[in-house]
């Protein structure tokens, strides 16, 4: 059976859900994506994100982890078309349902954001204008993307405030400053989900919240994701959050993905030395106090200019590491960029 799709029109979530044809395709495909800063005369200056590849299917949660400055947010910004003007996608593809997003005009991209891709950023205070009540802001957002009466929009907003477990009527008539951080982040989640997007990009959505509120918000995100079968790209410093909730993981170092694969595989059998150290360095709740906490050697953010980006900090580094390692498959659902991958695959040193 051939199904013809007009990719010049925005796809509605309902339409796609009905079509099993799409379920076999990745929802989002990032191929060979590179992002550079622009120097004088808008010429490519420094390559900040290098040849990134990953896919996400509907209903899948992919986590991106890596230390500060590794390129997680730039990757997220690129795929929602929100890179700062001083930066540019210099090569690669970003396809949503097979449609190339890098070719869309700013107007088309604006229509796509919110409607098809929603994003939740760390700075939830910035998600709302301080002097307009939450309810009015959500109605306005809904009406700017959908043809819907004010009354119906209000009904929908109240339903969604309830869905994210907020006291809907009270929050509807509140100003942002009257809500706690956790309540505001829930309201931001309602703002993202009420459009029933295909993909939610959540960049450090709980970093500014306390431990318990963070857990609750992320659990809620997982619950709603499962209910609506949307895909989630979860970016987090907190490896435990990512290990607990994601289906697959991409580990970034120095603007590159150094290892990716199914979360369970990577948890049990990390292969890249950086992934191994990340797993060993994470705090694990246990009755037994570890004799020695593992610390990743070297200066955080130190990136080798040539060869493997992790070489200057890698305890396994050897001569060949002065050449950039290629991503290679290790098993059915794991890929790694490391010259020592064959040797490393024999170790099983990560705690679960």
Ligand X SMILES: Nc1ncnc2c1ncn2[C@@H]1O[C@H](COP(=O)(O)OP(=O)(O)OP(=O)(O)O)[C@@H](O)[C@H]1O
Residues that bind ligand SF4 (CB under 6 A): 272-273, 308, 310-311, 314, 316-317, 321, 325, 338-340
Q: Name residue, tokens 């995100």.
A: 221
- Under the binding rule (CB under 5 A), the answer on residue 238 touching Mg ion is no
Give every CB contact of residue 340 below 8 A, 6+ residues apart in sequence: 273, 316, 318
Q: Using CB under 6 A as the criterion, which residues of the chain lie in contact with ligand X when the complex forms?
A: 37, 48, 66, 68-74, 84, 86-87, 237
Closest approach of Cβ 296 to ligand SF4, in Å? 12
Q: With respect to Mg ion, which residue has the nearer C-beta, 202 or 231?
A: 202
Closest approach of Cβ 193 to Mg ion, in Å? 22
**Strand order of the sheet with strand 248-253?**
117-121, 199-203, 231-235, 61-65, 248-253, 256-262, 334-336, 328-329
Q: How far apart are CA 302 and CA 202, in angstroms?
A: 26
Q: With respect to ligand SF4, which residue has the nearer C-beta, 62 or 340?
A: 340
Closest approach of Cβ 254 to ligand X, in Å? 9
Q: With respect to ligand X, which residue has the nearer C-beta, 71 or 114?
A: 71
Q: With respect to ligand SF4, which residue has the nearer C-beta, 187 or 330?
A: 330
Closest approach of Cβ 237 to ligand SF4, in Å? 21
Bridge partners of 99? 96
Closest approach of Cβ 10 to ligand SF4, in Å? 42
Q: With respect to ligand X, which residue has the nearer C-beta, 161 or 252?
A: 252
- Under the binding rule (CB under 5 A), the answer on residue 73 touching Mg ion is yes
Q: How far apart are CA 277 and CA 315, in angstroms?
A: 10
- Under the binding rule (CB under 5 A), the answer on residue 236 touching Mg ion is no
Q: With respect to Mg ion, which residue has the nearer C-beta, 41 or 68?
A: 68
Closest approach of Cβ 68 to Mg ion, in Å? 7
Closest approach of Cβ 55 to ligand SF4, in Å? 24
> What is the SS3 string spanning 123-169?
CHHHHCCCCCCHHHHHHHHHHHHCCCCHHHHHHHHHHHHHHCCCCHH
Both structure tokens of 85: 């003007």
> What is the SS3 string spanning 39-92?
CHHHCEEEEEEEEEEEEECCCCEEEEECCCCCCHHHHHHHHCCCCCCCEEEEEE
Q: How far apart are CA 98 and CA 95, in angstroms?
A: 5
Name the binder of 283 from Mg ion, ligand SF4, ligand X, none, CB < 5-8 A by kind: none
Closest approach of Cβ 313 to ligand SF4, in Å? 8
Q: With respect to ligand SF4, which residue has the nearer C-beta, 180 or 306?
A: 306
Closest CA to 189 of 213, 168, 218: 218
Name the binder of 95 from ligand SF4, Mg ion, ligand X, none, CB < 5-8 A by kind: none
CB 124 within 8 A of CB 184: yes
Q: With respect to ligand X, which residue has the nearer C-beta, 71 or 81?
A: 71
CA dist 348 to 14, 25, 73, 106, 265, Å? 44, 33, 31, 48, 11
- Contact residues for Mg ion, defined by CB under 5 A: 73
């Amino acid at each position: 059976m051939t199904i013809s799709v007009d990719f010049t029109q925005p796809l509605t979530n309902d339409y796609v859900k009905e079509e099993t044809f799409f379920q076999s395709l990745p929802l989002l495909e990032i191929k060979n994506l590179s992002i550079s800063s622009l120097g004088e005369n808008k010429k490519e200056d420094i390559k900040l994100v290098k040849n990134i590849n990953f896919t996400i299917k509907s209903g899948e949660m992919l986590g991106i982890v890596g230390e500060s400055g590794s390129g997680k947010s730039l990757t997220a910004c690129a795929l929602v078309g929100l890179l700062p003007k001083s930066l540019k996608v210099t090569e690669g593809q970003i396809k949503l349902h097979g449609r190339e997003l890098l070719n869309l005009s700013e107007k088309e991209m604006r229509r796509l954001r919110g409607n098809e891709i929603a994003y939740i950023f760390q700075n939830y205070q910035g998600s709302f204008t301080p002097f307009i009540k939450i309810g009015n802001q959500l109605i306005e957002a809904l009406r700017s993307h959908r043809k819907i009466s004010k009354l119906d929009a209000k009904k929908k907003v109240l339903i969604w405030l309830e869905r994210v477990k907020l006291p809907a009527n009270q929050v509807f008539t509140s100003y942002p400053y009257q809500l706690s951080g956790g309540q505001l982040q829930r309201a931001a989640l309602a703002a993202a989900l009420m459009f029933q997007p295909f993909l939610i990009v959540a960049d450090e959505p709980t970093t500014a919240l306390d431990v318990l509120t963070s857990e609750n918000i992320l659990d809620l995100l997982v619950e709603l994701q499962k209910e609506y079968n949307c895909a989630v790209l979860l970016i987090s410093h907190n490896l435990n959050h990512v290990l607990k909730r994601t289906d697959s993981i991409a580990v970034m170092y120095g603007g590159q993905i150094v290892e990716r694969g199914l979360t369970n595989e990577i948890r049990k059998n990390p292969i890249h030395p950086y992934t191994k150290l990340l797993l060993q360095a994470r705090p694990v709740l246990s009755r037994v106090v570890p004799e020695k906490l593992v610390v990743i050697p070297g200066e955080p953010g130190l990136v080798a200019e040539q060869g493997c980006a992790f070489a200057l900090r890698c305890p396994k580094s050897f001569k060949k590491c002065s050449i950039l390692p290629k991503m290679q498959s290790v098993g059915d659902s794991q890929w790694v960029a490391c010259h020592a991958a064959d040797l490393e695959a024999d170790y099983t040193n990560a705690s679960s």
